[in-house]
Each structure stands twice: as structure tokens, then as C-alpha cells.
Structure 1
Amino acid sequence: MTDKNIQLAIQVVPLERNGNVYEQIDAAIEVIQQSGVEYMITPMETVMQGPYEKLQVVAREAQEALVDAGCNEFLVNIKMHIRTDRDVTMEEKRLDR
């Protein structure tokens, strides 16, 4: 797709109420934290920055972590900001820069 860094925001929403929903979400976040990509956790989603292919893998592994944590049904919302001519950075979007 592109060799530039992109941003991918992922939100996972468990739909079942068996087990601890926050523990299931935390399992997905832990995958992101262990991935080595730059990320920012917000109240509604986690934003990652890095190469397109790497972020696709991390997003899939985060979903698999939900299943491993006992979640059988969930929603996944993904947003991506992609440029082909230069990197997308978190710094450029910060209001306090």
C-alpha cells in the first residue's frame, strides 16, 4: 500500500456480558503495547502509528486477544489515516504543540 507510516485507530467493543469486559479490552490493548509500535490510548480508542502492514497485523492480533480472553462476540471499529507521499504523525495532530 505505502511505505510511509500511517495511523490506525482501533476500538473493540465486547457485546456479551459474561466475564469482565474491561479485562477483555485490556487484553487487546496489551497486544498493542507489546507490539513495539507507537500508540496512544484514549478513552474511546487506541491510536497506533507505524507501517501499514505492521498495523494490520497488530489490529488482527488485538482481535484475537479478545477471543482468547473469552469474548465470543464483539464490534471492531477501525479508522486509518494514510498518505502515500509522507508519514502521518501524531505530533502534527496534537493541539498543544
Structure 2
Amino acid sequence: MANSLVSIQILPKTKNGENVIPYVDEAINVIHQSGLTYQVNPLETTIEGELGQIFSIITEMNERMIEMGSSNVISQIKVLYQPSGITMAELTEKYR
């Protein structure tokens, strides 16, 4: 079972004020390629997995934004670390 839920909002600075959506789409693709469970929400994406692996994915996301031409990236993250295990379904089941 995963020991962490991490929500991330990535805000790349784009060249000439371009639309950030293609960058955000690519950041979500990095998460998708990881194979971890994730959920895209309007203002952030939540990832379920092992904390170290998720931080590696966040690093990869930031590096990908730079590769795409962003001069810098702000990543706002929220972390729930629970060594006994946690899933998005468990955390939200009473609301579903």
C-alpha cells in the first residue's frame, strides 16, 4: 500500500507569456508515465505512492518544464505521509 498522497500544482514560467496548458499537460503525462495512481483536479493533481518515488517524479516534472523552454518553475505541493499506508479512496470514501 502507498504511504503517501502528494498534491502538486506546477506553474511554469513560459516564453513570451504563452499558454501554460501544454506545459501542464506534459507534467501530467510525466505522472501518467510513472504508472502511479493519480487524480487530476481543477487546480492540482494528487499522486498516490511511496514518498521518495513521488519526489523523483516531481523532480522529473520540473526538469521537463525547463526542457520545454520554461525559464523557471514553481511547484506547490501538499504531502500526506502515513507509514501505515494511505490511499485517495480511503481518504475520500465518505464523500463518494
TM surpasses 0.5: yes
The residue number in structure 1 matching 2:21 is 22
Contact 1:35/1:58 (CA < 8 Å) preserved in 2?
A: yes
The structure carrying a bigger helix percent of its residues is 2
1:90 aligns with 88
Amino acid across the alignment from 1:53: G
What TM-score, normalized to structure 2? 0.86
Once the two structures are overlaid, the 10-residue window that deviates more, 7-16 or 42-51, is 7-16
Among 2, 8, 11, the residue aligned to 1:10? 8
**1:80 Cα deviation from its structure 2 partner:** 0.5
Is the contact made by 2:14 and 2:69 (CA closer than 8 Å) also made in structure 1? no
Counting matched residue pairs gives: 93
1:5, 1:88 within 8 Å by CA — same for their partners in 2?
yes
TM-score normalised by length of structure 1: 0.85
Which residue matches 1:61? 60
Given that 2:38 and 2:47 are in contact with CA atoms closer than 8 Å, whether structure 1 keeps it comes out as: yes
Point out where structure 1 has 5 or more consecutive residues left out of the alignment: none
> How many percent identity over aligned positions?
30
Query: Which stretches of structure 1, 4 residues or longer, exceed 2 Å deviation after superposition?
Result: 14-20
**Mean Cα displacement is larger for which, 36-45 or 13-22?**
13-22
